[in-house]
């Protein structure tokens, strides 16, 4: 039952409408603080301690770019002085500090500061400067120009096989910036420098191998992982190409004609004209005005996309400022008192610039119906007018928070990783990789590993960005199949006519569409685990070692990962060299695993070699898993009346189906529902139950049709509908699947079916 712990936590919190902690109060409870001379220690949890040193005794109680909340319930701890040392002890850690000393010295035998913890019964000692060769890594700003395995680019993460990790707020990020402070102002919390620029500010995480608790507690202090709107989990069509308004209309019509589900149309940089000259021949990355030669009616075009149930995003390269030829330049210049008629420099670190720029440049575009922004490469990593401020992080913070303050739909941005703390701003654009199998092979590891810093929504260029040779139908298919089981499903490529991303132009189109249909069928499961990530800090795609931290295989088989709690995925990332068959080596942990593509039930606690054709994806349901699915749909704007529930064989299983209003922030204040679904089996009798829905939200369905699919089962002796409910069933002996159809039922009633097997 351990795997349901966090589901139980947030279900109880929801039922009683009590927050688990006070959110976003950066000032810690004084009872958690121990001060000794120039040192200040804050005991945040039994495993998590903040360590500060300031020669000026200027300690920070403001939020930082990483940590926005320190007001946690004070854990039990003791503090006393002994033989010249301050000793702080919790249930998990013992901290020893040599009173009056600088915490960093070069003596590893007698350090001025050390923290001891137990890891699998053995003593582990940390001291400042200690190297950790076993950190499990986090992520990196971009995969631009990546070819194959580039794990050396990754920053350290929050988890380590050593049992400890340290957040150093003063360590430079991979773009050269620092984690600065927020000033606590209203609206957008603005940047501020530290009171003591020479201070130390660390957070010691001593969670051993309890990786899930480490991530949960990280989001308690660093903020939750916000849910993207539901439509973001559908298919995004994208291609960097000089498409016109009519080209996009033609593409959408072809997508519809080919019965392809889709929810997002991405418009790359050619939507705007050349900012410097005002020319429609766009050779300038930065631009803010519609290219009317390509888009003669932007408002009508976006309205048409919305009529097709599509959301849209525009690509921005916000680096070179606002040129005199831009629309609304005069209004912006007047508001900023620019009178020389020159380019207005990019200065997003200035609050007035932000306010006036959004008012005169971006808001008119948003008012036309642009749903969200794609914030692409920033040519200058460090802000010009604010020391150590990273443009990437700051743009993400400003754009996301501005969208949230508008309260027009659920905030979402599409952006580069700007360092620790960026999990609060959702969807990442991983950049311009090469279209090769080695690049594809790296992405499952890369995506799952990013969850080690809470960055659970990487969006990759499915198919690869840069490509020198001919289009490879097999590579594109396998990338799309991986995309089914990745956070965001977006095909893309660079501005090259020979690269084709329209799947209906490929000879294996039917298999690509089949994969997209599978993605859409899994949306109820995916969306539930988006809520799970919001509540627990555990992302949709996560490494195997979260569940099996003491098993070596969990670290060795890094090309496979868990997709939610109950689906194990081992995507094909190599060519079959024309044989239409790939042998895949998969580690199956203890228990039974249902191999979905073959219908076979496999015994775990072993490594298996399995063969898969191009139509098959290696993914497995955990024993007892319950997987909610949609029937075939074309988009996510409307909620289907039918819900399919697949039950993997097992003695017991439980799922809490999550639903909300899909595109606003009301879920944060309780506008959502949970529906508990269970299965239990004793001898030959199985009980399958759908419980009354708990909670409310506007527009929630009153009734629903259910289809229960019992997988890998023998032909039943009897099927009984409990409490007078009625339905019908059929058994497919070829697939060994029992299908039970329950007609339209109230969502607030209990439904139970008993199945007696031969």
pLDDT digits (tens, 9 = 90+) for 432-458: 999 999 999 999 999 999 999 999 999
Indicate whether 58 belongs to any domain: yes
Alpha-carbon span 324 to 401, nearest angstrom:
28
Does residue 68 sit in the same domain as residue 177? Answer: yes
Asked if the model's pLDDT at residue 748 lies above 90, the reply is: yes
Indicate whether 423 belongs to any domain: no
Going by pLDDT thresholds of 50, 70 and 90, the confidence category of residue 381 is: confident
Going by pLDDT thresholds of 50, 70 and 90, the confidence category of residue 275 is: confident
Closest CA to 482 of 455, 511, 462, 499: 462
Alpha-carbon span 70 to 491, nearest angstrom:
40
**Residue 275 contacts residue 321 (beta carbons within 8 Å):** no
Count the neighbouring beta carbons within 10 Å of the beta carbon of residue 246.
12
DSSP 72-85: PPPPP-EEEEETTE
Indicate whether 291 belongs to any domain: no
Does residue 742 sit in the same domain as residue 595? Answer: no
Among 180, 205, 230, give the residue marking a domain's end.
205
* CB neighbour class for 468 (10 Å; exposed up to 12, middle 13-18, buried from 19): exposed
Q: CATH code at 583? A: 2.60.40.1180
Alpha-carbon span 51 to 48, nearest angstrom:
10
Does residue 597 sit in the same domain as residue 664? Answer: no
* pLDDT (tens digit per residue) in 158-189: 999 999 999 999 999 988 999 999 999 999 99
Rg (CA), the chain: 27
Alpha-carbon span 660 to 663, nearest angstrom:
8
What three-state secondary structure class fits 481? helix
Alpha-carbon span 711 to 246, nearest angstrom:
46
Does residue 576 sit in the same domain as residue 693? Answer: no
Does residue 650 sit in the same domain as residue 616? Answer: no
Give the up-direction half-sphere exposure of residue 165: CA atoms within 13 A in the CB hemisphere: 24
Residue 115: what are its φ and ψ, rounded to 5°?
-130, 130
Rounded (10°) angle between helices 523-536 and 211-222: 70
Token pair belonging to 704: 């629903």
* pLDDT (tens digit per residue) in 471-498: 999 999 999 999 999 999 999 999 999 9
pLDDT, averaged across the chain: 95
Alpha-carbon span 243 to 501, nearest angstrom:
13
What three-state secondary structure class fits 569? strand
pLDDT score of 320? 87
Strands 413-415 and 427-429: parallel
Does residue 88 sit in the same domain as residue 49? Answer: yes
- List 702's β-bridge partners, or say none: none
* pLDDT (tens digit per residue) in 325-374: 999 999 999 999 999 999 999 999 999 999 999 999 999 999 999 999 99
* pLDDT (tens digit per residue) in 202-249: 999 999 999 999 999 999 999 999 999 999 999 999 999 999 999 999
Going by pLDDT thresholds of 50, 70 and 90, the confidence category of residue 506 is: very high
- The percent of the chain in helix, strand and coil, each rounded to the nearest 5, is 25, 25, 50
Does residue 600 sit in the same domain as residue 646? Answer: no
**Residue 263 contacts residue 309 (beta carbons within 8 Å):** yes
Alpha-carbon span 689 to 654, nearest angstrom:
10
Alpha-carbon span 31 to 73, nearest angstrom:
10
Query: Residue 596: which domain range?
Result: 544-622
Does residue 551 sit in the same domain as residue 677? Answer: no
Does residue 33 sit in the same domain as residue 126? Answer: yes
pLDDT score of 13? 47
Report CA torsion sign: 634, 637, 640, 643.
positive
How many helices and strands (H and E) does the chain possess?
A: 13, 39
CA 116 → CA 79, 93, 106, distances in Å? Answer: 15, 6, 18
What three-state secondary structure class fits 710? strand
Q: Which residues are CB-contacts of 567 (< 8 A; sequence separation ≥ 6)?
A: 485, 525, 619, 620, 621, 622, 625, 627
Does residue 617 sit in the same domain as residue 649? Answer: no
Indicate whether 119 belongs to any domain: yes
Among 569, 587, 622, give the residue marking a domain's end.
622
Indicate whether 663 belongs to any domain: yes
pLDDT score of 8? 54
Q: Which residues are CB-contacts of 714 (< 8 A; sequence separation ≥ 6)?
A: 736, 757, 758
* pLDDT (tens digit per residue) in 631-675: 999 999 989 999 999 999 999 999 999 999 999 999 999 999 999
Going by pLDDT thresholds of 50, 70 and 90, the confidence category of residue 24 is: confident
Alpha-carbon span 615 to 473, nearest angstrom:
13
Q: Which residues are CB-contacts of 610 (< 8 A; sequence separation ≥ 6)?
A: 583, 584, 586, 595, 598, 618
Strands 652-660 and 728-732: unpaired
Alpha-carbon span 108 to 102, nearest angstrom:
14
Strands 751-757 and 716-721: antiparallel
Alpha-carbon span 403 to 423, nearest angstrom:
16
Domains held by the chain: number? 3
pTM equals 0.97
Give the up-direction half-sphere exposure of residue 305: CA atoms within 13 A in the CB hemisphere: 25
**Residue 288 contacts residue 327 (beta carbons within 8 Å):** yes
Indicate whether 370 belongs to any domain: no
Alpha-carbon span 747 to 702, nearest angstrom:
6
Widest pairwise Cα distance in the chain: 87
Closest CA to 561 of 541, 532, 547: 541
Does residue 730 sit in the same domain as residue 656? Answer: yes
Going by pLDDT thresholds of 50, 70 and 90, the confidence category of residue 21 is: very low
Does residue 603 sit in the same domain as residue 688? Answer: no
Alpha-carbon span 52 to 41, nearest angstrom:
6
Closest CA to 371 of 189, 637, 668: 637
Asked if the model's pLDDT at residue 707 lies above 60, the reply is: yes
CA end-to-end distance (rounded Å), the chain: 28
Indicate whether 561 belongs to any domain: yes
DSSP 300-353: HHHHHHHHTT-EEEEEE-TTS-B-TTSTTHHHHHHHTT--S-S-B---TTSHHH
Q: Which helix (H) or strand (E) holds 11?
A: helix 5-16
What three-state secondary structure class fits 199? coil
For 6-20, 170-184, 385-399, which range has the lowest pLDDT when averaged over its residues?
Answer: 6-20
DSSP 622-667: ETT-EEEE--S-S-SSS--SEEEEEE-SSSEEEEEEEEE-SSSSGG
Among 174, 205, 236, give the residue marking a domain's end.
205
Indicate whether 90 belongs to any domain: yes
Count the neighbouring beta carbons within 10 Å of the beta carbon of residue 259.
12
Strands 652-660 and 672-682: antiparallel
CA 598 → CA 579, 622, 625, distances in Å? Answer: 19, 15, 17
Q: Which helix (H) or strand (E) holds 489?
A: strand 489-491
Closest CA to 355 of 373, 336, 338: 336
- List 153's β-bridge partners, or say none: none
pLDDT score of 7? 52
pLDDT score of 659? 98
**Residue 317 contacts residue 304 (beta carbons within 8 Å):** no
């Amino acid at each position: 039952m351990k795997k349901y712990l966090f589901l139980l936590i947030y279900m109880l919190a929801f039922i009683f409408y009590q927050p688990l902690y006070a959110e976003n109060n950066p000032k810690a409870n004084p009872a958690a603080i121990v001060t000794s001379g120039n040192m200040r220690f804050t005991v945040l949890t039994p495993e998590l301690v903040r360590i500060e040193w300031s020669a000026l005794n200027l300690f920070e109680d403001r939020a930082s770019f990483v940590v926005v909340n320190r007001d946690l319930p004070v854990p039990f701890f003791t503090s006393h002085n002994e033989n010249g040392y301050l000793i702080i002890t919790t249930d998990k850690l013992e901290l020893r500090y040599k009173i009056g000393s600088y915490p960093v010295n070069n003596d590893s035998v007698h350090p001025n500061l050390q923290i001891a913890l137990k890891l699998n019964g053995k003593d582990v000692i940390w001291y400042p400067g200690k190297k950790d060769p076993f950190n499990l890594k986090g992520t990196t700003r971009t995969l631009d120009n990546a070819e194959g395995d580039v794990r050396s680019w990754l920053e350290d993460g929050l988890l380590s096989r050593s049992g400890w990790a340290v957040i150093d707020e003063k360590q430079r990020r991979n773009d050269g910036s620092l984690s600065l402070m927020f000033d606590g102002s209203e609206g957008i919390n603005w940047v501020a420098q530290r009171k003591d620029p020479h201070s130390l500010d660390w957070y010691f995480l001593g969670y051993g191998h309890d990786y899930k608790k480490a991530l949960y507690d990280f989001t308690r202090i660093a903020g939750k992982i916000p849910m993207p709107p539901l439509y973001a989990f559908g298919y995004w069509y994208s291609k960097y190409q000089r498409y016109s308004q009519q080209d996009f209309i033609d593409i959408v019509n072809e997508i519809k004609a080919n019965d392809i589900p889709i929810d997002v149309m991405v418009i790359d940089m050619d939507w705007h004209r050349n900012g410097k000259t005002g020319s429609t021949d766009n050779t300038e990355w930065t631009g803010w005005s519609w290219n009317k030669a390509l888009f003669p009616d932007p408002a009508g075009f976006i309205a048409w996309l919305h009529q097709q149930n599509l959301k849209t995003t525009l690509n921005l390269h916000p680096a070179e400022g606002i040129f005199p030829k831009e629309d609304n330049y005069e209004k912006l210049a007047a508001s900023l008192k620019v009178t020389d008629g020159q380019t207005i420099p990019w200065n997003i670190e200035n609050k007035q610039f932000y306010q006036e720029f959004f008012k005169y440049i971006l808001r008119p575009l948003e008012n036309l119906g642009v749903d969200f922004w794609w914030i692409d490469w920033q040519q200058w990593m460090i802000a010009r007018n604010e020391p150590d401020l990273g443009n990437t992080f700051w743009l993400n913070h400003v754009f996301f928070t501005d969208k949230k303050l508008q309260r027009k739909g659920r905030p979402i941005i599409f952006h580069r990783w700007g360092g620790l703390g960026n999990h609060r701003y959702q969807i990442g654009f991983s950049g311009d990789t090469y279209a090769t199998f080695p690049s594809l092979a790296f992405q499952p590891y890369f995506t799952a590993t990013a969850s080690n810093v809470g960055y659970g929504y990487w969006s990759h260029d499915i198919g690869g960005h840069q490509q020198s040779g001919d289009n490879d139908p097999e590579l594109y298919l396998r990338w799309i199949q991986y995309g089914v089981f990745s956070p965001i499903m977006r095909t893309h490529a660079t501005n090259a006519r020979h690269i084709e991303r329209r799947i209906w132009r490929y000879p294996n189109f039917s298999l690509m569409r089949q994969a997209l249909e599978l993605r859409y069928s899994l949306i109820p499961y995916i969306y539930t685990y988006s809520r799970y990530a919001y509540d627990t800090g555990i992302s949709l795609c996560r490494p195997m070692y979260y569940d099996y931290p003491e098993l070596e295989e969990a670290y060795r088989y890094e090309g496979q990962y868990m997709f939610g709690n109950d689906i194990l995925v081992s995507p094909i990332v190599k060519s079959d060299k024309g044989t239409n068959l790939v042998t895949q080596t998969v580690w199956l942990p203890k228990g039974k695993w249902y191999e979905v593509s073959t219908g076979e039930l496999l015994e775990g606690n072993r490594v298996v070699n399995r063969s898969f054709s191009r139509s098959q994806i290696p993914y497995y349901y955990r024993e007892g898993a319950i997987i909610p699915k949609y029937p075939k749909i074309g988009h996510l704007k409307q909620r289907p009346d039918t819900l399919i529930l697949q039950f993997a064989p097992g003695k017991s299983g439980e799922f809490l189906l999550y639903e909300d209003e899909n595109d606003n922030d009301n879920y944060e204040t309780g506008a959502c529902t949970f529906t508990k679904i269970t299965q239990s089996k004793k001898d030959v009798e199985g009980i399958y139950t759908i419980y009354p829905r708990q909670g409310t939200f506007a527009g929630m369905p009153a009734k629903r049709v259910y289809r229960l699919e019992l997988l890998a089962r023998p032909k039943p002796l009897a099927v009984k509908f409990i409490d007078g409910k009625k339905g019908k069933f059929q058994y497919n002996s070829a697939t060994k699947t029992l299908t039970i159809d329950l007609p339209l039922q109230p969502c607030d009633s209990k439904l139970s079916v008993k199945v007696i097997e031969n």
